[in-house]
Amino acid sequence: MSGDDGRPLGRLSVVGVGPAGPEWLTPEVAARLEAATDLVGYGPYLERIAGAHHRVHASDNREELARATHALDMAAEGRDVAVVSGGDPGVFAMAAAIFEALEGAPAGRWEDVEVDVAPGVSAMQAAAARLGAPLGNDFCVISLSDNLKPWSLIQRRVRLAAEADFAMAFYNPISRSRPWQLGEALGIVREVQGPDTLVVLATAVGRGEREDVQISTLGEVDPAAANMSTLVIVGATSTRVLERPSGRRHVYTPRYVEAAQ
């Protein structure tokens, strides 16, 4: 298929490859990757899925807008480009960066590029499934990274979510430059809900021997046990642990909520 000027029309697919290996790929994402001529994304994600027929364009994980621009430019040349995110591309990932680039582009720059988003298994879904159903009732998702928003706004959102008694999934909980933020965020929830609320540190879910899932409480959790591969789930006050005869422990949040007295 070609445009009015005879050039082939490019396509850009924004895809999520899940939290780990090929078993986490959806059939739709696998088909988009197979059709793509070019893969764009963070190097470790591309290493999981690149084939011999792909041209690979790896970049640092902090270069989202530059990556989006490069991908759109290649698609405008007629290539079939897949922009790769871990997890789901619409959750703190590349889908938003692509649309930010499109919105800020000069008129006509990428108007012939077809853009589609193919969902993937998110880190919070993978972690929740390992545990049972900790997100089984109302929940919210908050990134603790203050690279693109002020820490004061993150603090406010965490406090309001705790006051509303949401279960919470925390992305980007800690890094070398901000090792204190997870502890402060958990402290905010502890002030509102007390020390007995359940907390789970789910690290590298789906990555074999690296996987580690720790069930704790706000009063006992050690934030230093988390890293940038950790997805943190903070329960609602109703979240509980179910002990099975096998010794396995499941964490779940009941679907019902009792009326306030």
E strand map for the chain: 11-16, 38-42, 55-59, 80-85, 114-118, 132-133, 139-143, 167-171, 198-203, 212-217, 230-234, 240-243, 249-252
Amino acid type, 161: A
* Contact (Cβ atoms closer than 8 angstroms) between residue 215 and residue 198: yes
Question: Of 245, 216, 247, which Cα lies nearest the Cα of 230?
Answer: 216
Q: Rounded distance, CA 75 to CA 70, Å? A: 9
Confidence of residue 175 (pLDDT cuts 50, 70, 90): confident
- For tokens 């082939």, name the residue: 8
Q: Is the backbone of residue 21 left (phi > 0), alpha (psi -120 to 50) or beta?
A: beta
pLDDT band at 177 (very low <50, low <70, confident <90, very high): confident
User: Could you tell me the pTM of the whole model?
Assistant: 0.91
Q: What is the pLDDT of residue 261?
A: 47
Q: List the single range of 21-25, 132-136, 163-167 with lowest mean pLDDT.
A: 21-25
Mean pLDDT of the chain: 93
On the question of pLDDT at 259 being above 80, the answer is no
Domains recognised in the chain with CATH numbers = 11-121 (3.40.1010.10), 124-252 (3.30.950.10)
- Least Cα distance to 234 among 256, 219, 249 occurs for 219
Give strand pairing partners of 124: none
Over residues 245-249, the mean pLDDT reads: 92
Give the model's pLDDT for residue 1. Answer: 46
Q: Give the up-direction half-sphere exposure of residue 31: CA atoms within 13 A in the CB hemisphere.
A: 6
